[in-house]
Amino acid sequence: MIRIAKAEEGDLPAILDLQRLAYQSEARLLGNVRIPPLLQTLEDMREEFRCGVFLKALDEGRNIVGSVRGLARDGTLFVGKLMVHPDHQRQGLGSRLLLELEKVCPQPRLELFTSDRSAANIRLYERNGYARFSEKAVSPDLTFVYLEKRLSV
């Protein structure tokens, strides 16, 4: 059984390892191995940890197999870097992490973004109540789709 809990600073090296594994598929999809999740350093992640909330998903052996993070600002929870170990994908864990983040850090509005090429990610977010509200081309080859979800808190 997978258990979700708040991450501690000592979990960050394992989360960074998971991030580097989980974002390989996104890098292949984009044809670019230099995407920010693959370039993030442990020190960068520690700084992000100090400012926001990190959740972890633990398997029976207490291995971190999923994570998501959020930063609350001005009534919006900015959701970032939802990741699930490839062996645990397509089993509902991504949805569970999103819902747990909403409970742990309730805000009236949630916002996230993903590549317009990440059809599976977009479907996951839309199934969880997110709706597209904007698109932004960040380079000739990359457009981000921004999605939001409104909650009554």
Would you list the DSSP string of 98-116?
A: HHHHHHHS--SEEEEEEET
What is the pLDDT confidence band of residue 31, given thresholds at 50, 70 and 90?
confident
Domain ranges of the chain: 3-109
What's the CATH superfamily of 3-109? Gcn5-related N-acetyltransferase (GNAT) (3.40.630.30)
In this prediction, residue 29 carries a pLDDT of 78
In the predicted model, what is the mean pLDDT of residues 26-36? 78
What predicted TM-score, i.e. pTM, was given to this entire model?
0.93
Give the HSE-up count for residue 11: Cα atoms under 13 Å, Cβ half-sphere.
22
In the predicted model, what is the mean pLDDT of residues 21-42? 83
In this prediction, residue 138 carries a pLDDT of 86
- 20-54: b or e for each residue (b if 16 or more CB lie within 10 Å)? eebbeebeebbeeeebebbebeeeebeebbeebbb
In this prediction, residue 90 carries a pLDDT of 92
